[in-house]
Amino acid sequence: MMETCVGVTWLKFCSQIMRLTGDPSPVDEIEKYVYNGLLGAMKPSGDGFSYVNLLNGNKVVNYGWGWHFGDFYVTCCNLNGPMGLAYIPYVAVMEDDRGPIVNLYNASEIDMTTPRKRPLKLSLETDFPLTGNVIIEVTPEKKEEFTLKLRIPSWSANTVVKVNGKTQEVAPGTYAELTRKWQAGDRIEVAFDMTCRVIDAPHGSNRKGDNFQAVVWGPIVLARDQNIDPDYDKPVRIIADENGIVKIRKVNPTLPTTRIEFAVPTADGEIRMTDYASVNGWEGAQICTWLPVKTE
């Protein structure tokens, strides 16, 4: 997590690296920042962005360089946050001389052209990242052969892609290149692997990262929220297998402002964790993203 202005600059920098190299890995960084840092910086009311987001303790630092326009206080982050949101469509779907490139999976309709400059429409039906399921309808004006690239995120170890019901070979951290004579009615089904996993904190030279873990679900960082859990910062031991995989259970959100909430297994039972972006720290509630590991 970083200052909102820096995060939006990082988003744009990563997009240019991807444009120059054709490497999809910078889009992993964009996706991670957008769903966690950028959306997590926005007020629940949508009318402001925090200066910087933190991972433990106070989530938001709602001050920074700014000035008043009448009664309205404006900061650089309040301006850059909306710019970051507006920039996402420019990255979500792009094109090269071979055809369209789908980088981000948001419900959308895209009007573009084929390599022969004929009209082409892509329709993405999905509730991602609430689930990992995406349906893409491909509608060219005329039947035409071109290559449609789908970004397969590095976090999705077992992605399933089907074109008109036929399974395609794909690999994480790459573009799946689907070359065929596309025609109206063609349908792509994508199922991303949203497996939950634990991440050990880096063991730096001062060893302060020892005995901390984070929990990630697909591209979504999970957190303990003081708004729903008074023991949000207490040490826990997450139950995971030898590969760091955690079997979590989706539950109904405790608060109406929470998008996703899970019951996460621990040695002492379960804890509740939500998506980082949903945690409302604007009224003083605190957060715990790097979980202290219970060592007893």
Please give the pLDDT value at position 48: 85
Q: How confident is the model at residue 42 (pLDDT cuts 50, 70, 90)?
A: very high
Which run of H or E residues covers position 83?
A: helix 76-92
Query: Is the pLDDT assigned to residue 63 strictly greater than 70?
Result: no
Q: How confident is the model at residue 142 (pLDDT cuts 50, 70, 90)?
A: very high
DSSP track, 7-72: HHHHHHHHHHHHHHH--SHHHHHHHHIIIIIIHHHB-TTSS-B-SEE-SEEE-EE---SEEEETTE
Query: Is the pLDDT assigned to residue 46 strictly greater than 90?
Result: no
Backbone phi, psi, residue 63, to 5°: -145, 175
Q: How confident is the model at residue 284 (pLDDT cuts 50, 70, 90)?
A: confident
Please give the pLDDT value at position 157: 96
Answer whether 157's CB lies under 8 Å from 132's CB.
no
Local structure of residue 284 (DSSP, 8 states): S
Q: Prior bond to 129 cis, omega within 30? A: yes
Please give the pLDDT value at position 69: 78
Please give the pLDDT value at position 68: 77
Q: Give 176-232 pLDDT, tens digit per residue.
A: 999 999 999 999 999 999 999 999 988 776 777 778 999 999 999 999 999 999 999
Residues 6+ apart with CB under 8 A from 101: 93, 94, 95, 148, 149, 151, 175
CA distance 166 to 176: 14
Percentage above 90 pLDDT, the chain: 81
Residues 6+ apart with CB under 8 A from 250: 260, 261, 262
Percentage above 70 pLDDT, the chain: 97
User: Is pTM beyond 0.85 here?
Assistant: yes
Please give the pLDDT value at position 291: 96
Average pLDDT score over the chain: 94
Measured between its terminal Cα atoms, the distance across the chain in Å is 30
